[in-house]
Amino acid sequence: MALVLILSVSSATCGSRKSKEYDHADMAVPVPRFSIAVKLSEQARQRLKSIHESVLVIAYFDGDPLPGQGRYNAPFRDVFLGNDEKLVDDQNVATFDTTKISQSNWDRLANKDYFVTINVVSARKAAKNNLLWCGTPEDRLSTFEGKTTEVSCGLIDEQFDQHNPANPALKSLGSSPK
């Protein structure tokens, strides 16, 4: 009986914190429009096409707090504003034009030119795990605003193939495939 009570109190506490951070009514600050163009390697394009897999672009928004307004949010900066996800279109472009972020957290920012971090992954509709190894652009909003940023992606298998001359591990070791 005591165990059940502890679990109930614990989940109620966690739930209330999350509900404040992700209160949909608080998501009121529009993010300026920007797009991400995903450039797939030929091998990645063929593999995703063969299994009818999509590409998902995830944008995370965060920033640095006013004095005394921060909260430890690893792996994000101390003011987490929210995130949004978009599937790419037929041209492999994801456009973020309806995204909104937290008003209460935006009010806590020291610099309103907050950070944007982009992750590109396979959408996991046809494959259980992510298949893509992509660049991860991260910069101030002003760098993305009104622009299209290109992100290059290959298959994870391509990145760890010891016979692939594009393998970053081989380049960093100064080796070449034999």
> For residue 166, what pLDDT is reported?
56
Provide the token pair at 176: 């070449």
Distance spanning both ends of the chain, measured CA to CA = 65
> For residue 73, what pLDDT is reported?
65
Alpha carbon of 128 to those of 46, 125, 134, 165: distances in Å?
Answer: 18, 7, 18, 28
Provide the token pair at 24: 């949909």
Q: What pLDDT band is residue 8 in, cutting at 50, 70 and 90? A: very low
List the domain boundaries for the chain: 24-173
Percent of the chain with pLDDT over 90: 61
> For residue 155, what pLDDT is reported?
95
Q: How much of the chain is helix, strand and coil, in % rounded to 5?
A: 30, 35, 40
DSSP 8-state secondary structure symbol assigned to residue 24: G
Please say whether the beta carbons of 78 and 64 come within 8 A.
yes
Tell me the per-residue pLDDT of 52-100, one tens digit each, with 9 for 90 and over: 999 999 999 999 888 887 777 666 788 889 999 999 999 999 999 999 9
Q: Where are the beta strands (DSSP E) in 64-99?
A: 79-87, 93-96
Please say whether the beta carbons of 176 and 170 come within 8 A.
yes
- How far is residue 60 CA from its own chain's centroid? 5
Which of 78-87, 120-129, 143-152, 159-168 has the weakest average pLDDT? 159-168
Average pLDDT over residues 113-122: 97
Beta strands at 34-40 and 148-155: parallel, antiparallel or unpaired: parallel
- pLDDT over 80 at 37, yes or no: yes
Tell me the per-residue pLDDT of 154-174, one tens digit each, with 9 for 90 and over: 999 888 765 655 554 444 444
> For residue 167, what pLDDT is reported?
52
Yes or no: is domain 24-173 CATH 2.60.40? Answer: yes
